Structure 1
Amino acid sequence: MRKFRPLLAALTALGLCAAGCSDPGAAQDGPPTVTTWPDPSAPLAGTTLTVWAAQNSTKAPAAVVAAFERATGATVRVLTIPDPYEQGVQTKVAAGDKPDLAFWQPTGSMLRAVNAKATLQPLTGAPWLDSLDPALREITGQLDGTRYAALITSPAVQGVYYNKQVLTRHGITAPPKNWAEFLTVARKLKAEGQTPFHEMGGDRWATQWWVQVQLADAARDGLWERVNTGKEKFTDPAIRGAIAQYQALIAEGLFNADLKTARLEDQADALLAGRAAMAVQVNSFLTQLQAKASPAELDERIGFFPISPSGNVGTFIPDQTNALVAFRTGDQRREAAARQLLAYWLGPGYPAFVNDRKTVSLKPSVPSPPGVPQAAQEAHGALRTAVGSMQALAAANPDLYLNLADLVQGVLTPEQVAQRTQDQFAQLARAQGLPGF
């Protein structure tokens, strides 16, 4: 989930990297658009379905799959694809090896990465859509107007996880309302001997959140559409300036002293213990926190607020734990059975699924179960006004996080980070045949 793999290797595996080549999302021969959906509990004795999952999502289907098997007589095998998951899936699909369903990041760029129009079943007329929270129905899962992914959990949001007790101890009784207040709070904490921010430079992947939350307002104003068409670049003031701001905050000493080597587990420990007051992260951070503290302890200590230059605007970044896709396998009976599993999962099986996973419900008619951390509910609430991340809105995902990790290590300057990222984005855009590159 976390290491958002660039699209270039996927396009290479699919044989689509030549300059001026055809669009990897272009329609190809395959079954017609799906317009019918089986009854969720229709008999499926003798049918075996395969679901691919990442190491951090492989246990998620256990309860709903068992219930589906009991209801239908089907057999469902959940296979774990080793990390890096996205790379493994793209390589297998490019070689013609496809499951019936898979966990997948439901963004346009990652749907292109598996050549969705040729390899995935359209989920046209999905029977559960009307029951979803209206704010989430169209947030993700589509490519060029066709739905290919089914959202099953709350899309991840970039924002600030904070230790409530630390802020209260320093007289801060409400979360900052914009980026300027955010930095004012940080400087107050530093002046009073408290480490304001924690960064996990040793694991690298979270470095990009610091830049992307600064771009929330620009994203709302069409930043990524301009980048996609070559009208704006990573080297222009908006993105380059956010990179420079990140470096300036590091130079100011607002982060943990071990930011170059700290890892995810260190970040969770530091925030829970109050050694650091805040961390910019995404929903998966809660999994690490939940492994270290009880629900009551989490609610007592940890909160979440979205942040952007102008206010409390979140940046959403759906990941592979959030959605499922159904593949075109050429076996129409299995394809129908795969759609049936989706209809069951998001239909009669959904209440038990959210209760088993202790996750926020996407349906107003299905209450979230007890034990969902307050911070998770706050992150989910931020989706109503959130804007898309680079992963959600850009045509391709260059190695921004790797370049920023080199910035943290002192290897690259902000200008070099911006240029390297822009060069790779342009290469990926050319591979897709996008105009302007």
Structure 2
Amino acid sequence: MKRVLPALVLICVTALTATACSDPTAGDGGSGADSGARVDPTARLDGVKLTMWTAQNTVNAPRQVIDAFEQATGATVDTQAIPDLYEQNVPTKLASGDKPDLMFWQPSISTLPFVQPRQNLLTLDGEPWVDKLGDTERSLGVVDGKRYAAIVTSPAMLGVYYNKDVFRKAGITEDRFPRNYAELLKLGHTVKDRTDAAAFYESGGDKWPMQWQMQVQLTDLDRQWWAGLNSNKEKWTDPVVVKAITTYKDQLLGAGLAQKNYRTGTFTGSADALWNGEAGMVLNVTSFQTQLQAKHSTAEIDRRIGWFPVSNSDATGMYSPDQTNGVVAFRTGDEKRQNAARQFLAFWLGTDYAQYIKAMKIPSVQPGVPSPDGLPGTSLAQLKALPTANGVFQAKAVVAPDTHLYLADMIYGKKTPAQVAQAIQDQFAQVAKAQGTPGF
């Protein structure tokens, strides 16, 4: 999920670029083992120590695979949690000259560039696990035609979580699920008019979930538009974008389809409200489901919560890359450790993969490896929707601006929809220019 892209990123980009330019070994990221070379995932690595950076909330995510890898190879993998905000502090540490061997990082074209992949990362084209990935997963982790990230988990799916009891009270059956965003709003009015629940729960207090209502409305923009945006020929001030923001302001919030405290609502509060039937729907990504799974059993979730996909003009889902999806390997100058990092990724996505997803209770990114039994129906519905899903703008734009911060200004009356769009465009252009994006 995309939480923060602060102005400090501009400083980090500049610092990283300067560091890379002064590095005489900077090149295509292919030093160490030849990219695509076959490695033995369980070859002995006694005495080799690798360091892996993670966010504070994902420090335990690789624990199963690390334990298995250490036992199989004799290597040691030390995880280091980087303080929040992760996306801000990682570039700062890299700019200071500190480097791990491996790191969780969002494998999108909007976020991979912040760690200067050409200078800092090993290329992973042709690794034995690449062809095993699903089509959507294989599209991630690539910048300028080169692969820099291994995809270890499926990207988050954006869709509508709904309370089944609330829908029953409102007389909403599956055949009435919305086939586009306009119908979703109409469904919201049905919930509001026929039940005591709020139609939607919006998290203005945490801000970042507010972007999703806008995102869903941008799915009709084609590849050419996004290519134009990324080359400074199209703008976030396009009437289509302003209309999406205006629709959110007037037809959802202004129409009373959100809970009364939407300005201060929280992400954790959204899960509790949906579970308790205080809200009929929550539009959010897979991390919302993670909250539910942490508190409730699969059987309990299946009885109470459902999920369906929706886009602006159809019932297609949306996928959203986040930092738990991708793992990158750094060019440290130590060939033995670089080879070991490649071996670790081959082990993760090869020898150990079925055990890893079973331990994590998550869907498989490899069609040839079945997802584990016991996943909630919401998870299975998301897995089914993934192959045809649209990417959120983090997967399409070269910079993912902080739309949620400007939307927060809007709900407090500090910005109009047009001013929100202009603020998004200003930040987008500023960061794109700092990154050296052609056209800016």
- Please tell me the TM-score bracket, short chain as reference: over 0.9
* Distance in 2 of aligned mates of 1:48 and 1:16: 25
Residue 385 of structure 1 and its aligned partner are, at CA, apart by 1.2
* Distance in 2 of aligned mates of 1:16 and 1:238: 35
* Distance in 2 of aligned mates of 1:73 and 1:255: 54
**1:224 pairs with 222, 226, 232, which one?**
226
1:339 aligns with 2:354: no
Q: TM-score, normalised by structure 2?
A: 0.93
Residue 351 of structure 1 and its aligned partner are, at CA, apart by 0.7
Aligned twin of 1:246: 248
Q: For residues 5 and 258 of structure 1, do their structure 2 counterparts lie closer, same or farther at Cα, with a shift above 3 Å needed?
A: same
Q: For residues 390 and 8 of structure 1, do their structure 2 counterparts lie closer, same or farther at Cα, with a shift above 3 Å needed?
A: farther
For the residue of structure 2 that corresponds to 1:78, the secondary structure is strand
* Distance in 2 of aligned mates of 1:34 and 1:418: 42
* Distance in 2 of aligned mates of 1:221 and 1:126: 28
Q: How many residues align?
A: 430
**1:368 pairs with 368, 371, 385, which one?**
371
Aligned twin of 2:153: 153
For the residue of structure 2 that corresponds to 1:38, the secondary structure is coil
Aligned twin of 1:190: 192
* Structure 2 gap segments, 5+ residues each: none
Q: Where do residues 302-381 of structure 1 align in structure 2 (5 Å cutoff)?
A: 302-381=305-384
Residue 168 of structure 1 and its aligned partner are, at CA, apart by 2.1
Residue 37 of structure 1 and its aligned partner are, at CA, apart by 3.7
* Structure 1 gap segments, 5+ residues each: none
Contact 1:186/1:196 (<8 A) preserved: yes
Residue 137 of structure 1 and its aligned partner are, at CA, apart by 4.6
Residue 375 of structure 1 and its aligned partner are, at CA, apart by 1.0
Residue 10 of structure 1 and its aligned partner are, at CA, apart by 4.9
Aligned twin of 2:217: 214
Q: Deviations over 1:339-390 (max 9, x none)?
A: 0000000001001100100000122332211232211221222221112221
* Distance in 2 of aligned mates of 1:245 and 1:107: 28
Q: Deviations over 1:178-210 (max 9, x none)?
A: 112211111111122431100011000111111
Contact 2:137/2:365 (<8 A) preserved: no
* Distance in 2 of aligned mates of 1:4 and 1:312: 28
Q: Deviations over 1:97-139 (max 9, x none)?
A: 1111001100112111000000010002110122223x23532
* Distance in 1 of aligned mates of 2:425 and 2:258: 27
* Distance in 2 of aligned mates of 1:55 and 1:322: 15
Contact 2:104/2:328 (<8 A) preserved: yes
Q: Where do residues 30-429 of structure 1 align in structure 2 (5 Å cutoff)?
A: 31=31, 34-133=35-134, 135-174=135-174, 175-193=177-195, 194-218=197-221, 220-248=222-250, 249-429=252-432
* Distance in 2 of aligned mates of 1:329 and 1:307: 43
Q: For residues 221 and 9 of structure 1, do their structure 2 counterparts lie closer, same or farther at Cα, with a shift above 3 Å needed?
A: closer
Q: For residues 57 and 372 of structure 1, do their structure 2 counterparts lie closer, same or farther at Cα, with a shift above 3 Å needed?
A: same
* Distance in 2 of aligned mates of 1:27 and 1:66: 33
For the residue of structure 1 that corresponds to 2:158, the secondary structure is strand
User: Which 4+ runs in 1 deviate beyond 6 A?
Assistant: none
Q: For residues 200 and 155 of structure 1, do their structure 2 counterparts lie closer, same or farther at Cα, with a shift above 3 Å needed?
A: same
Contact 2:14/2:434 (<8 A) preserved: no
Q: For residues 12 and 363 of structure 1, do their structure 2 counterparts lie closer, same or farther at Cα, with a shift above 3 Å needed?
A: closer
Contact 2:28/2:123 (<8 A) preserved: no
Q: TM-score, normalised by structure 1?
A: 0.93
Q: What is the percent sequence identity of the aligned residues?
A: 49
